[in-house]
Structure 1
């Protein structure tokens, strides 16, 4: 059903010829000191950096271009140029007790930065390794739900707007921006087609490579003097600046749109920012203590990272359901959130000073995902839990009865009439640490499934049944 809501928004955008907002609250933290990083790689060289543009929101880009990133010394010179900016930025965030944030143009650029970080960590140059380590923080955080360290401008805009094109086409940042702010008096499809002709990822246009860039690089290598070589290097720089500046500018434009006052505050982001600050502090402390970043995680570390990511998904979802109105409505439509009118409060006197309370709610929701025994929490106001004891469908209404767990004093003061939302409990970020501690204890010794030694065979003492199929069917 959530997909249906998104389809409806896209149909409205298609009808209007302009993207439509799908939320009213901001969906991510925007650090005022965030850095915009735009990288271009050479075709066929996915771990190269041909050109780099770096700057802060509202500032012009600092640009560095190398004539041929396949020349190791030139490539490393560009990376060494970037290193002081990130060392200073990370040190500043650490001193302020906050976290760094890097903005790139698209998911492709995000993946390129992550791949570069892995590659640079294992070079034989200490300063290049240092840059790879710093970038690894952002790269490792990128797949974690709710992370705020590495943001793609196209992904951030997609959380706020729906366009009239396919979701994959929204990854082209300039086309997405054209849907959001279409040029007046011009057909939206013609405007988007024009925008799509401008590269917005980490690669240059193949025709541009064939007709202009490759001949210039060939001339650079065939130059007979330093002056001629410098001339061709300047040509290459001017060519690539013409490619990288529009990408950097489009990322700035995306940040400006998302920083506008139209987006209301989202209290859920405060917890995410606090979590990100803690993750960054732990990452930097581990680097100070000399812990290496391995190329591949051990089975134990991999299992703990998977568990942490699963908990992060649950916590982010729970936080958004409580504080983000659009997420709450999607939860109601999908049936994960019970929205019902309080019909009755039943008091049961079980003994001296021993009372239990049942709440009876009526809901018009068609797709409620509820079963007896489920535990729900009041999502606004008082801390009150409800364990579902009865569900009955009566005409257009669903009658839901639940026994109050926590919050009995609040329940006895309630009266019929108000509409209440019940859903999963609030985010438990501290519970993640406890869960990982338990996993660490359990994984002290690797299970046989992750070792080279198989356990000894243990023959069954029970005789094999004459009819195995019949024996299995009897189990059901």
Structure 2
């Protein structure tokens, strides 16, 4: 936890209201996201109990399993869920747009939009991941055949869960984590995992402050858990008798409706909270780099959608080269995401200034026309001296860039005892020996430089799968789903 976040939490405690950690919204919000609030059966890893979903606050759809231990009912639920999710996937593609050819000359396309899914918390992502793993291997023929849409749903849910792991991706978002990225409360991080308590601090009801609203949210009767786990008292005193009545009456329609009613009562409060949170996030202006990250999400969705029918379900485990490449890509994405957020938002950049990885101040000296003539050809190398009081942790020779214009790069030449930093600008000023007008900061101008950089380290080279070294198991066999995959239990 940074010093700035700690200060914001102390301010929240003192004022009784959550404090902003951002001045812009660092995530994309689709015009019609698919909000999903899932519930699972207690004691079961991936036995679905119910889900409330939809793209409009006033038009939710409830899917429920009146007897979650019944295999046929569970797969009927999965087929119904698949119909709605796959319809959303197809409806959210938008028009196809043509992109400039790739380096190899191959034509590229990208869908104009992509389907976004919102869930209440990280546990909801884990449940969707498990549900995807439990359905993507199911057979559509032979014993225990399922509807063809069920394995398709499993593959999409698995892809969404994998995409959620990528920093900055907005295809599958958790509401608690997204809110915590933009506000700090006066409660613990564990308590922030409760969506009702978190929103109580950010947007308390009239007449209440954050602590009072959060305390009221701890009542499971008034604020049922946001899932996928349910409250034990609800399980024992409400849900279990309703399911027992369904079993006793042999699946009578009235008994099934009773189960649906009690599940709807559990899901509706969280459904309302989800849309309330969406409204709070929409009120923030979108960060400058969000659009670029959403384009990469659309690229990934376009590729997966266009190759969906050509491949097998995702394997349980990645082979060595694919796993290493994925880890490397996630690390690079995290590096770029951290830098983009800081460049977009002065409050985020302030965290890096406090840690010494960035510094801000006033330009006291500027030599925009300086040339370095030590080589064969002269090079434009302006000098800047910046007066700063920030606790700098960078050394002489460190590469930095301008926070307001990241293309403007330089290196630290000297760090003065009185807090002055001498910079030599090395890039982002144009190709001539005279800088472009307004590029080099002038005396009296307030600037901020940081060691953060988008794409500051390049992609590593990995061997092809057939060249996997023996230390990592050698070349893997081509993956083909087996009967063991298909026989995996849901729980």
TM-score tier (shorter): 0.7 to 0.9
TM alignment of 1:331-350, pairs within 5 A: 331-342=352-363, 343-345=365-367, 346-350=370-374
Whether contact under 8 Å (2:372, 2:379) holds in the other structure is yes
Alpha-carbon distance in structure 2 between the residues aligned to 1:37 and 1:409 = 56
Deviations 1:339-370 (A, max 9, x none): 24332425454489625535232342443232
Deviation at 1:424, TM superposition (A): 4.4
| Equivalent position to 2:190, from 168, 172, 188 | 168
Return the index of the structure with the highest Cα Rg: 1
Q: Which runs of 4+ in 1 moved over 4 A?
A: 346-353, 411-415
RMSD of aligned Cα (Å) = 2.6
1:216 equivalent to 2:242? Answer yes
SS in 1 for 2:435: helix
Q: Which residue of 1 aligns with 2:304?
A: 283
Q: Which residue of 1 aligns with 2:445?
A: 418
* 1:57–1:328 CA distance, 2 compared to 1 (3 A): farther
Q: Which residue of 1 aligns with 2:10?
A: 11
Deviation at 1:72, TM superposition (A): 0.9
Deviations 1:260-280 (A, max 9, x none): 2xx123111011111100111
Whether contact under 8 Å (2:401, 2:452) holds in the other structure is yes
| Equivalent position to 2:340, from 319, 325, 338 | 319
* 1:60–1:286 CA distance, 2 compared to 1 (3 A): same
Alpha-carbon distance in structure 1 between the residues aligned to 2:92 and 2:463 = 30
Q: Which residue of 1 aligns with 2:114?
A: 99
1:297 equivalent to 2:318? Answer yes
* 1:54–1:44 CA distance, 2 compared to 1 (3 A): same
Deviations 1:233-283 (A, max 9, x none): 2221111111011111111111111112xx123111011111100111122
Alpha-carbon distance in structure 2 between the residues aligned to 1:347 and 1:367 = 31
Deviation at 1:426, TM superposition (A): 5.1
Whether contact under 8 Å (1:357, 1:411) holds in the other structure is no
Q: Which residue of 2 aligns with 1:370?
A: 394
1:185 equivalent to 2:184? Answer no
User: What are structure 1's unaligned runs of at least 5 residues?
Assistant: 454-476
Deviation at 1:172, TM superposition (A): 0.6
TM alignment of 1:18-167, pairs within 5 A: 18-96=17-95, 97=111, 98-124=113-139, 125=146, 126-167=148-189
Q: Which residue of 1 aligns with 2:486?
A: none
Q: Which residue of 1 aligns with 2:98?
A: none
Count of residues paired in the alignment: 440
Deviation at 1:209, TM superposition (A): 1.1
User: What are structure 2's unaligned runs of at least 5 residues?
Assistant: 96-110, 140-145, 476-491
SS in 2 for 1:439: coil
TM-score, normalising length from structure 2? 0.83
Deviation at 1:452, TM superposition (A): 7.2
Alpha-carbon distance in structure 1 between the residues aligned to 2:78 and 2:358 = 49
Alpha-carbon distance in structure 2 between the residues aligned to 1:349 and 1:452 = 53
SS in 2 for 1:85: helix
Structure 1 stretch displaced more, 49-58 or 180-189: 180-189
Deviation at 1:82, TM superposition (A): 1.4
SS in 1 for 2:73: helix
SS in 2 for 1:399: strand
* 1:381–1:187 CA distance, 2 compared to 1 (3 A): closer
Alpha-carbon distance in structure 2 between the residues aligned to 1:369 and 1:16 = 33
Alpha-carbon distance in structure 2 between the residues aligned to 1:246 and 1:5 = 33
SS in 1 for 2:467: coil
Alpha-carbon distance in structure 2 between the residues aligned to 1:219 and 1:286 = 46
Deviation at 1:298, TM superposition (A): 0.6
Whether contact under 8 Å (1:52, 1:63) holds in the other structure is yes
SS in 1 for 2:383: strand
Structure 1 stretch displaced more, 351-360 or 305-314: 351-360
TM-score, normalising length from structure 1? 0.85
Alpha-carbon distance in structure 2 between the residues aligned to 1:20 and 1:382 = 28
Deviation at 1:403, TM superposition (A): 5.4
Alpha-carbon distance in structure 1 between the residues aligned to 2:361 and 2:463 = 42
| Equivalent position to 1:259, from 279, 282, 288 | 282
